[in-house]
Amino acid sequence: MNPLHLDVRGVNLGGWMVLQPWITPSLFYQFEGRPPDRTAMDMHSFCEVLGPQEGNRQLREHWRKWVTEREIRKIAEQGLNTVRVPVGDWMWLPYDPYIGCTDGALDELWRVIHLCEQYGIRVLVDLHGVRRSQNGFDNSGHIMNVTWSDDGQSFSHWPSRSAAWQGSFDPLTMTYSTINWDNIRSTVQVLQRIAISLRHFPSILGIEALNEPWQFTPLDVLKAFYWEAYWTVRAEAPHWLFVIHDSFRLEEWSGYMKGCQGVALDTHVQQAWFDIRSQQSFLENACSWRQRIRALQETSLPILVCEWSLATDNCNMWLNGFHDNAPGFPKVECGSVVCPSPQVSGIAGPPQGSSPGPRGTGSPSAPSNGRCSVSKPWDNEDAIEQQLAEHKISAFEEGVGWIFWNFRVELDPRWSWEAAYERGWLPRNVSNLPQSLLDTCKTSGESPTPSSSANDLPWYNMLPSAHGRCARVADMRLASPPCPLPSALLPLPKTVAFNEGRGKPFPSLSRSPSTRGGASPSPP
């Protein structure tokens, strides 16, 4: 069952336009042992600490080396037909500290889009990072609420993590006291700019409106944002696929946008944050997604799994943040490898002795004696990884497709399509999958729908009282109007409380001919 008649089989180009320390640790060794105001943990602080000149020098070299024609050619040769490209809003609407630091980013993006066109690969543009962060983690470009000790040797992030794109978040009640509609509308404007700047490239498959807005985002707010973004993008690029992320509440989208043309629901399926379990249990869990996707597509939107991997633990160094870890992780004994050397010229390599810090509140996650943490191999490593890949692909083919995270990383091969492919863990040509692989979950038997117990949820829920609070947030529903209705007719509040404590009328979300290029688009 494939409602969109798409067969998306792809990889993410993560760690390229939006830096993440665990993907390219070699870019972040240079910040070890520095005082708080000289320590970078994400894209935002990378530009803030290095400044526009040195930051831009390093980024330009990184962009040029991390994604080359060689990588795009290999992706095509392996039968993959899609790349998902994480981008930041600062590329289209620059603000500090990105001004100057990210100069040339759009030229690099166009370079890779042209390469994809040359090799017959489609591009899904993914808005991964937005101003003030939609989830408070480094994959948004900006870690929020980092508190440093007086001596500057340690910091705390996980107990106080926040996300301010949505508004003012209260970590004690795990709710938003105010909603920043101006910020949200600014993101809609960014999506419009992306559509205008890229709509003429024939290789563009579509756009993902926002990556991983965390689970404490009020659903009515998120759904209103998606509606406005959908109509805005359709007005500029009606031929694009429009993808929305489930905000880690996959069951809460029944009927939403049902019947709208060219819309898919993205869900991310990772086993890296599971409790310790047997190899067979990982395989059964993978196959259970086939039944779940099939059931969801009957009442919800077509399902596109935009992030998955072969990882079954948290051992990849800095996976949960620079020099930090989520509470209780890793749950298994990890291995180690020689730390990768920097690919960018003129920056420091890994420390050869013990790491100078800083230290987060989680379990230690740092280079030691020139070695970096990765997963410890299974006894039957090649066989189990190959089986796991087959089970996951078989399950995810039930939807409109899948996109592996990531195309490559500097450390653990379980997160790297390139390294996993070289080890023989992945099919040789995914454009022509054998029927035996597609039937893997049929012949192995399907397990019940995956459990959503607190212990099996990813790090996004590892906050105080998160499991209990999520249930209350999930109870919020927004009635979905028929697709042809303009988003201005959504039941949005007439008054909104802003940070300064004053109420003000809620501005209309209706289309303006002056900003939308004429009349409203015809309904699909």
pTM above 0.85, yes or no: yes
Q: How confident is the model at residue 3 (pLDDT cuts 50, 70, 90)?
A: low
Position 284 pLDDT exceeds 90: yes
Query: What pLDDT, on a 0 to 100 scale, did the predictor assign at position 245?
Result: 98
pLDDT band for 445, please (50, 70, 90 cuts): low
212, part of any domain: yes
**358 prior amide bond cis, ω within 30:** yes
Instruction: Determine if the peptide bond prior to 406 is cis (ω within 30°).
Output: yes
| pLDDT, average across residues 414-436 | 97
Residue 304 lies in a domain: yes
CATH label of the domain that carries residue 465: 3.20.20.80
Mean pLDDT of 287-313: 96
> What was the pLDDT predicted at 1?
55
Interval 206-225 mean pLDDT: 97
Quickly state the pLDDT bin for 353 (edges 50, 70, 90).
confident
Domain presence at residue 128: yes
pLDDT at 138: 97
Asked whether residue 98 is assigned to any structural domain, the reply reads yes
Name the residue range of residue 284's domain: 8-516
Q: Is residue 524 part of a domain?
A: no
CA distance 505 to 174: 26
**Residue 447's pLDDT band (boundaries 50, 70, 90)?**
low
pLDDT (average), residues 441-467: 47
- Sign of the torsion angle spanned by Cα atoms 300, 210, 243, 457: negative
CB 229 within 8 A of CB 211: no
User: How many domains, the chain?
Assistant: 1
The answer as to whether 237 is a domain residue is yes
- Residue 1 belongs to a domain: no
Query: What's the pLDDT tens digit per position in 476-524?
Result: 233 344 565 544 433 333 323 323 222 233 233 233 323 333 333 332 3
**pLDDT top residue among 465 and 448:** 448
Residue 171 lies in a domain: yes
List Cα–Cα distances, 25 to 29, 30, 136, 262, in angstroms: 7, 10, 20, 37
> Between 326 and 25, where is the model more confident?
25
